[in-house]
Chains A and B, each alone.
Chain A
């Protein structure tokens, strides 16, 4: 009987050893790993699903894509938990770089935001050229507005527009914050027949299941610009510097820009992103 117990102990020991080795083997793979903190819009649009295999094949790096809001992505960068960022919150990015957390901030691509709303358009804003004006109409009509409320690039842009309209919607009953990603916020807006600010890419991807119309587009403030930023290794020695640089270089390279140019055309009729590497932000 004791032999049986002994064998059981040996079995447990082997299992534990196996798990330890398994963990060690996985840890080895970290050498060639790049942690990319990016936004939910780049992941949900499917762009990264197309670009990453190309990058991984070319360089042999394994990219761990952590898709969160731009705010959280930059917070990860500040703590040195990411190697490179692909985000779209220019004001916060400039602060991030100015405070020494990021280096080599480079323009990658842009698309635009649109204001979408229910088919009846109770705030009567369809066709308005100014997004600030349309937000004023929402406030005066007390129409339901869904905000991301998560410090993402989209949320930051939305706050900019409210500021331009001179309105503070925070305590209003018609202003609701979901704290969710773009796709989910659009779903909530569709269900509750409310207005929201969305990036064109995610909207197009979800269009068929939504039932929301594009009401305002084309305003200069609605430009949505993506930058790639490498996390500064001076503050955090564990950052994978060559990996981050390789990814950032890849994003602005000619071949990648070509892929970005045509991404989405076959599925949606128009490209989801417009490549901009090498240009200055002011030129857009």
Chain B
């Protein structure tokens, strides 16, 4: 009986030791994350100029790209949703495929087009924020287009006729339909923005991650990680999350606004 008690004790002690070791290890990793959080706080509070510059550029590039995608995406999406033409289903499936375009592949193709000696080389915009905006627009536009398509198609078909019957012009009807589909359309914008603010493959390839010029939060995070500066990398990641959250907070407010009675 004592033997089994001893054995039991050893087993318990062994498990406790293992567990303690495990939590020690986890604690070590948590240290790294806490370091990152502290660093993020510090960088933000002191308005570190380099980080501020990177953050503003992220917002600018992804913001402009999302805006352009919104214009292209909504207009094309609405146009296709409200019309019929041979091959419409094929076009829609192409757009839906475009929603899942690998950003890295987009980056590669945009790079090849924008090379100095390539077809669009005379613009000389490779390794500039403009190139990043172009690449991010190519990534986000199909997303906005696809979701807009579905959103407009989802509206009751009789609604169109009702609006027209009340004397609205075609353009007015389109505008009212867009307002009716406000919920999914804003979701489309948030999906497009989310896709590009977090994108890194295309941004590195067409932007070049040049200090103070084409470096954004995502590309800087990759660089700091490869340099072994994990605390800075985590800090940048946290700032990126905060930025994305703030933007989406604003967009969600607009989306969820109560309809005027």
Contact = CB atoms under 8 A, between A and B. Distances in A.
Interface of A: 1-2, 5, 12, 15, 19, 22-23, 26-27, 30, 35, 40, 44, 49, 62, 64-67, 79-81, 180-184, 186-187, 205-206, 209-210, 236, 238
Contact of A184 (B126, B208, B211, B225): B225
Nearest to A52: B211
Interface on chain A toward B: helix, strand, loop, or mixed SS? helix
Contact of B228 (A2, A12, A62, A205): A205
Interface string B108-136: 00000001110001011111111001000
B225 to A, nearest CB: 7
Given A12-B71, A23-B130, A205-B228, A1 B123 contact: no
Contacts of A187: 228
Nearest to A46: B227
Given A2-B169, A64-B213, A79-B117, A27 B226 contact: no
Most A C-beta atoms less than 10 A away, residue of B115, B117, B169: B117
B97 interface: no
Given A2-B171, A206-B227, A236-B117, 13 more contacts: A2-B169, A5-B172, A5-B175, A15-B67, A65-B210, A65-B211, A66-B127, A79-B115, A79-B117, A180-B226, A183-B228, A209-B228, A209-B230
Given A19-B64, A180-B226, A236-B117, A49 B130 contact: no
Contacts of A49: 211
A44 B67 CA distance: 35
Contacts of A26: 125, 128-130
B121 A64 contact: no
Contacts of A23: 123, 125, 130
B227 A44 contact: yes
Contacts of B124: 27, 30
A35 B127 CA distance: 9
A174 to B, nearest CB: 24
A79 B210 CA distance: 21
Contacts of A64: 127, 208, 210, 213
19 contacts: A12-B71, A15-B67, A19-B64, A23-B130, A26-B130, A64-B210, A67-B209, A79-B117, A80-B116, A80-B117, A180-B226, A183-B225, A184-B226, A206-B227, A210-B228, A236-B116, A236-B117, A238-B116, A238-B121
A62 B121 CA distance: 19
A89 B141 CA distance: 42
Size category of the binding interface on chain B: 20 to 34
Given A15-B67, A40-B226, A5 B115 contact: no
Contacts of B125: 23, 26-27
Nearest to A183: B226
Interface string B51-73: 00000000000001001100100
Contacts of B211: 49, 65
Given A236-B117, A238-B116, A22 B130 contact: yes
Nearest to B174: A5
What 7 A-B pairs are tightest by C-beta distance, nearest first? A206-B228, A183-B226, A30-B124, A184-B226, A238-B116, A23-B130, A181-B226
Most A C-beta atoms less than 10 A away, residue of B67, B127, B169, B227: B227
Contacts of B171: 1-2, 5
Nearest to B168: A1
A12 B68 CA distance: 9
Contact of A66 (B67, B68, B116, B208): B208
